[in-house]
Structure 1
Amino acid sequence: MQDHKEKKLTDTAISVLDLVPIVAGKTAADSFKNTLNLAQHVERLGFTRYWLAEHHNMPGIASSATALLIGHVASGTSTIRVGSGGIMLPNHAPLVVAEQFGTLETLYPGRIDLGLGRAPGTDQQTAMALRRDLVGNVEDFPRHVEELQNYLGPVNPNARVRAVPGEGSNVPIWLLGSSTFGAQLAGMLGLPYAFASHFAPAALHHALKVYRESFRPSDTLQTPYAMACVNVTAAATDAEAELLATSLYQSFLSVIRGTARQMQPPAQSMENLWDASEKYAVQQMLRYTFIGAKATVKEQLQAFLDDTQVDEIMVASHIYDHNARLKSYEILGEIMNGK
């Protein structure tokens, strides 16, 4: 493993995860406008990729039709990679995913990523409403990943079922996860791996270890490539950032309570909004959340990079005010560019 002092933020790819939040008092249409505006903003700042995540039946998240939104963002940008973080494969037939992403790759060549997850991205009842059949389950995930690889791989005129468009496109496939299952599968298949440490931090180090140790070179990847997602709220001062971050805390508090709602404005204090056990639970989920002014966030991110030795950092910024969100990524861009 590399010496922990060798990797620098300025040499590390930084990317964006957008959950397309619907903020209180606004609509999904507003969210879509903000998403494209943010993508154009971070493209100018030099970020590597812009991913959107599939969620369903959540009043505060508008990214349910993920492939459509990827097309929306790709059509309004020109250089940044755009993809899924991720498509929840149990909800979809692999052929449909291959055709969708083959179409996206045909429209925006060399810019599309396909990140795959094995969770449904929703509650159990909604998962049943989404299912293409009633017999499949997450244990089919490895087989479906390989099926998808075949559809997007080299053209095979003799195949009984072909993805058109899709075949020959070789859209890069990433495996996503919050446990060691996806890490081991990504390693065995020689695929890049992204860990969801922005909400499920517990298994991060173990998963990275499993991924690196189980990695087998493939036609698409010769050495392990690991990415981790974190939350960042950056502002002019530590105090301002802490205030902005209360929207993130409220969102995760709603998850814990099972009372999903639109993103709430910042709160002057969280003490009257959660009890001690709820506060602890939120803080555990948000262990890899970096909040503060530029110097503070830079120090926190560098420590995270030293600790994990990941190849890329993906950043989610759950901020109520769109302009403040733009500013947070701007500060992050300055850190990334050594300013």
Structure 2
Amino acid sequence: MSKVKYYYDPDTLSYRKIEPKKSKKYRNLFLFLVGSALFGFLGLIILLNTRWVNTPKELSLEREVRNYELQYDILNRKMEQMEQVLGNIEERDNNIYRLYFEANPIPEEQRKAGFGGVNRYKSLEGFNNSEIIINATKRLDIIQKQMVIQSKSLDEIAKLAEEKEKLLASIPAIQPISNEDLTRMASGYGWRSDPFTKARKMHWGMDFTAPRGTPIYASGDGKVVRADNRSSGYGKHVRIDHDYGYISLYGHMSKYNVTVGQKVKRGDLIGFVGSTGRSEAPHLHYEIFKDGERINPINFYYGSLTAEEFENMLKFANQENQSLD
């Protein structure tokens, strides 16, 4: 209840009630409304700057931040999976592939090294989540570098595999005369009795006895470098360069089936058994050179003989009998 004010009227010697003017009422009401509005506006400003009340824009930004956090968590898990898969590939690369092909393993420090020099992540600094963004970017950069290194390693392995395949195909690894056509293995590598002088001398190859005209096959991939009778004692003979330091020689042929410069594959027909040159009877004299030195051909028949056949050949080859040339 509002207070009633009075004033003393000297004319009537009594107190009279003060009647407020209408304009003053309106002014007071206006001031009250303005004050209430200002107070409400200030209160709203204060509330909006607290954590209890958010604007629609802030709510939208909060949703975006939560979504970014979710996406970062998903990205983090994907990077972990990538690192596990890449680690497995790297382990097989070092311990299986490179080991098999006699290549040096790639050091762990080289695979997972960071990037030195200038600050690559300066543009990502200065934000609320800079540390998270920089760490994720560094992690991705390292994974990318690992993938590049692994890709180059696999390229190298592929090249080594191709070279290994070529090497295995080139090594003279089969018997130059088929077992079906072979009469006997007449003489092996080592000291033997010369058929003409009867003196004991070194026999640098293996003699395979077979009928005249029996097919002779290339024992490995290579290129024919000689097909002539100009080498003392060998008569008509063929030499094949297999690369990697290997050369095979086929002597005392009756005729050739190849020409100089021709490329041959293992098992190709290169000529026929004969008895040309310094020979006592039809047979094939077979030699293998490695880096210019004659070596025992018996160690190179893994591609065509069974274990039993090889054992029998070894027994005959070690007998100090008379050679045929």
TM bucket by the smaller chain?
Answer: under 0.3
Q: Larger radius of gyration, structure 1 or 2?
A: 2
Please state which structure has a larger fraction of its residues in strand.
2
Using the size of structure 1 for normalisation, the TM-score is 0.20
Using the size of structure 2 for normalisation, the TM-score is 0.20
RCO comparison, higher one (Cα < 8 Å, 6+): 1
